[in-house]
Structure 1
Amino acid sequence: MWKRLRDSLARVGRIDQELVRRSAAVRRTPADQGLKQLTRSANHSLLWFACAAVLATRKGAPRRAALRGVVAIAGASATVNLVGKSLFPRRRPAADLMPVRRRLTRRPTSSSFPSGHAASAAAFTTAVTMEHPAAGLALAPVAAAVAYSRVHTGVHWPSDVAVGALIGIGTGLATRRWWPLGQGEPARARQPALVPAITDGAGLTVLVNPGAGVDTEDPEEQIRRRWPRAAVVYPDPDTDLVDQLRGLVDRGAQAPRALGVAGGDGTAAAVSSVAAEYDLPMVLIPAGTLNHFARDVGVRGLDDVAEAVATGDGVLVDLGAVRVDGNPLRWFVNTASLGGYPDMVRLRERLQDRWGKWPAAGMALAKVLARSRPLRMELNGAPHLVWVLFVGNGPYRPKGFAPTSRPKLDTGQLDVRYVRADVRFSRLRFVLAALLGALNHSPTYQHLETSKLDVRVLGSPVAIATDGEVGPEGRHFVFQSQPAALGIYRANPEADSAGSDAGSP
């Protein structure tokens, strides 16, 4: 066996040398200087980070492609540099094999095998293609040129490039294990909802949250252009948002026929709770940072929802609700959680004015993970010790502890996940299983789907977070799914009618 392996490696070496000689024999062309510039631009993946920055300026698939591409680069670079180059040291081609005009001024000194440039190029392009095929198609020739430039400039053997590219492709595809691809289709929902067609905005009241999102643009102008007779209101800082909305609805003959919201998931949750309470349809205008709920419902922007409002098309979706210590229901459209997450939100809010939202979130997460204490609680009467409890409105995917999307909003089920703290080295085991994408096989991670969950905290009261907003503290939390609680304007509900009929009770 070892002799066959040595013979195979010797054969690869001979092929490498022959290919390098043929490349060196190519006559001078303007491409020589261009490939030198291209290979330098890809040092430390700067070229791909620049491409990611451009893609990230557009919402939806381009932004998802950029993020997935950056994640794939990180995985490919770690595999090549920490594993490949450490375990398989190989000398780079001698400089004099290539003409002087092609040689790099500063030749790399690390192991030649495998090529990190080829791995990053292939990883980024593969990941981008999965989310945005058109962008991936445009990037593919650039990635191929970067990979070949390593041979053209004489710093890699062809087999280094080939193996690096395979590592990159594999890493890009492997991101699906932790982060499933978005199907680009709206979640299955009950339909049709009986929603009135509104052409000029008469009877429509839209709440605009100017503090939502990452842009400074106020959507009021676009809303008034679409619906000139709509009533546009802003949150009153001196009044509870839900109470403010109830006051708007309780206006007798002036009461709206539909409620609208332009904001993030927290604002959408407040408006949806009032819309469900008064049996009013909701116009959902994504204007927040992430817009998870709008994305899952299938509303991508104002154009999408305007078409549905004009034609009176809509669907019915489930909502989640929680009752804290017997108080009135607190509604949520995405998730609720107990444990470390509320602490992280509070700490992030204290830090974000100084550091910005995303850096503050990272610092808050690191501190909470290091300092958090487990909660002793009863889940449906059974005792448990947990680090964090997650409750989702409807079944999320993937089934690991990084839920990203919902294919269904009509199941009448809650998605319950928690991390056990009564297992030895539970935090370390949880982190390792999450990194390896093996949470479903870890004893620290538990998952179930149920229509109702009764949680009793044994100890000091704890805060609940719903849709990213910290709520009241309590010891007794009753979570329950509210099937078909909210009508939402959504265009072309016939696209999922077959699935909805099959899944509706």
Structure 2
Amino acid sequence: MRRILSAWDKELFLNVATRSWPAAEPVLPRLSRAANHGLLWFGVAAGIAAVGGRTGRRAALRGAGSLAVASAVVNTIGKGAVRRNRPVLDSVPVIRRLSRQPGTTSFPSGHAASAAAFAAGVALESPRWGAAVLPVAWSVAFSRIYTGVHYPSDVAAGMALGAGAALAVRGLVPTGRQLAVPPTPRADAPALPDGRGLFAVVNEVSGPPPLLGPPAERLRGALPEAVVEECSEDDDLAEMLEKAAQQAAEAGGALGIHGGDGSVSLAASIALRHGVPLLVSPGGTYNHFALDLSIESIDDAARAVREGTAIAVDVARVTPTGAAAGKEAGAAESTVFLNTFSIGVYPDLVRYRERWSRRVGSWPAGVLAALHVLRTSAPIDLEINGRRHSVWMLFAGNGAYRSIGPAPLRRRALSDGQLDVRIVPGSPYARTRLLAAALTGSTTALLRRMRIGGVEPGTRLAFDGEVAPAPRELVIDKANEALTVYRPL
């Protein structure tokens, strides 16, 4: 059997070597060289991360991690387990041969393993990006036979090993699709066929430049009877949302917002005040709330509003205690947030990141902002529920977050009535502790209400990515299941 397989392997190699492939000659050798040391895939990962939003960044990271595992297995175990000689190049045309021939053993193909690992890792996180990467991965794997450096069985074994590495990484770090959608009670909301009764505002300032065409046009295409307004830098987003919410209330319809988390929080507060359901369409850089609703695109949002599938979610509120004294919960002085609140160094990080992101991009701006904050900032003193603390940062999440590995990734539920409070205390080794806390991020407490006082003038706070001056004293609490939002089934 072994001889039969070996003969079949060599025969298939000769068939590829002796057949004319005119379209492949200018492409495959270059592609094979580009994949040396994974450089091609790291470049592809950078591109996906730059344009793919949070899902793209997770897909790129998973692909790169899967590649690293596959490469380590091939180079430490695979190459030494089967010491097979490379194919003889006599039958391979000179124009196809690589200028520098590999010096390692032939089995398995490291290039094929890396290609399959990267493509499978990306596809497990994002099938759309996986479909885009797969043809390139297949071409790289085939190029190793085409250029004469591997037998077909070397390539097949490498691809199987790479796919296995991607599955192993998924077993250790589940994908976003493996995480269960946060359980949330169903709510009544009108089904709006073709968007009739939906009054939506598109915040053109939010997020990176769109790659698939203007979002307002795509929203109108998906929901042709919806009223869609575009908010530019010269417009007042709050005023436009107020007008749209009033129209939605009169028509018995819904308010829609296409924008980032800050825009969504503003729209949520206005939807609450007018008593209308909210449709969220992801148009920002991170889109945390939209993704927790399993809405990754305009098409997801349109499907939910057409079918009328909705849930009731918690809303968290920040209320200055002086303004809120003697008033009912949910008064106009309260600021709504749907994801996170923080006070300490994080608001400064957001402020610097936003200032630099338009010039250098979101990722580089985030790195530069973090370095600047670590170098120039210091802990602040706060009174938290009556006790004095020195803290680098206080974080409060709207709902308890699930963590995989070091970081909080997704909420356990969108209507649990809890605040996920995490505190990074100041210390003699403050910056070292801040970096360690960023990696460990342990939960301090799950609360329903928290009072913060003793805030020094000039201190800033952040909620859902927006930065504002902090009041001297404030209360953070929850309005349970207060907001109705559309979510696709």
Whole-Å separation in 1 of the counterparts to 2:301 and 2:159: 45
Cα 1:299–1:381 shift into 2, 3 Å: same
In 1, the alpha carbon distance for the partners of 2:199 and 2:474 equals: 32
Write the letter of the residue equivalent to 1:396. Answer: Y
After TM superposition, give the deviation of residue 262 of structure 1 in Å. Answer: 1.7
- Structure 1 partner of 2:177: 182
1:500 maps to none
Q: 1:207 aligns with which of 190, 196, 201?
A: 201
* Counterpart residue type for residue 209 of structure 1: N
Alpha-carbon distance change, 429 to 330 in structure 1, aligned in 2, over 3 angstroms:
closer
Q: Distance in 2 between matches of 1:462 and 1:456?
A: 12
> What is the Cα deviation at residue 299 of structure 1?
2.8
Quick check: 1:221 aligned with 2:217? yes
Q: 1:394 and 1:105 mapped to 2: Cα distance?
A: 58
State the alpha-carbon separation in 2 of the partners of residues 111 and 425 from structure 1: 50
What are the Cα deviations for residues 355-398 of structure 1, in whole angstroms up to 9, with x where unaligned? Answer: 23333233222322343322333333344333222222122222
Asked if structure 2 preserves the Cα contact closer than 8 Å seen for 1:93 and 1:154, the reply is: no
- Corresponding position of 2:366: 361
Alignment root-mean-square deviation, CA: 5.0
Q: Does 2:265 correspond to 1:269?
A: yes
1:136–1:340 distance in 2 versus 1, CA, 3 Å: same
Provide the TM-score with structure 2 as the length reference.
0.73
Following superposition, the deviation at residue 268 of structure 1 comes to 0.8
Counterparts in 2 of 1:449 and 1:428: CA distance versus 1, 3 Å = closer
2:473 matched residue in structure 1: 476
Query: For residue 293 of structure 1, what is the amino acid of its counterpart?
Result: F
Partner of 2:449: 452
Q: Equivalents in 2 of 1:66, 1:130: separation in Å? A: 8
1:396 aligns with 2:396: no
Structure 1 counterpart of 2:328: none
Equivalent residue for 2:423?
418
The answer to whether the 8 Å contact 2:199/2:255 transfers is yes
Mind listing any 5+ residue stretches in structure 1 that lack a counterpart? 1-14, 493-505
- Give the alignment of 1:376-387 within 5 angstroms: 376-387=381-392
Aligned to 1:318: 314
The corresponding residue for 1:191 is: 186
Report the alpha carbon displacement of residue 192 of structure 1 after superposing the two structures with TM.
Answer: 2.4
| Cα 1:129–1:21 shift into 2, 3 Å | same
The residue number in structure 2 matching 1:43 is: 36
After TM superposition, the structure 1 stretch with the greater mean CA deviation from structure 2, 314-323 or 348-357, is 348-357
- Aligned partners of 1:344 and 1:365 also within 8 Å: yes
- What is the identity, as a one-letter code, of the residue corresponding to 1:263? G
Partner of 2:16: 30
CA shift for structure 1 position 89: 11
Q: Please give the TM-score of this superposition, normalised by the length of structure 1.
A: 0.71
Q: Report Cα offsets for 1:281-302 as digits up to 9, x if no partner.
A: 1122223333221121133434
Work out the CA distance in 2 between the residues paired with 1:231 and 1:140. Answer: 38
Change (3 A) 1:71 1:482: farther
Structure 2 Cα separation of the partners of residues 224 and 69 of structure 1: 34
Q: Following the alignment from structure 2 to structure 1, what is the Cα–Cα distance between the partners of residues 308 and 46?
A: 38
CA–CA distance in 2 between the matches of 1:430 and 1:236? 36
Give the letter aligned to residue 182 of structure 1.
R
Q: Structure 1: which amino acid aligns with 2:473?
A: H
The amino acid that maps onto 1:346 is R
The answer to whether the 8 Å contact 1:130/1:181 transfers is no
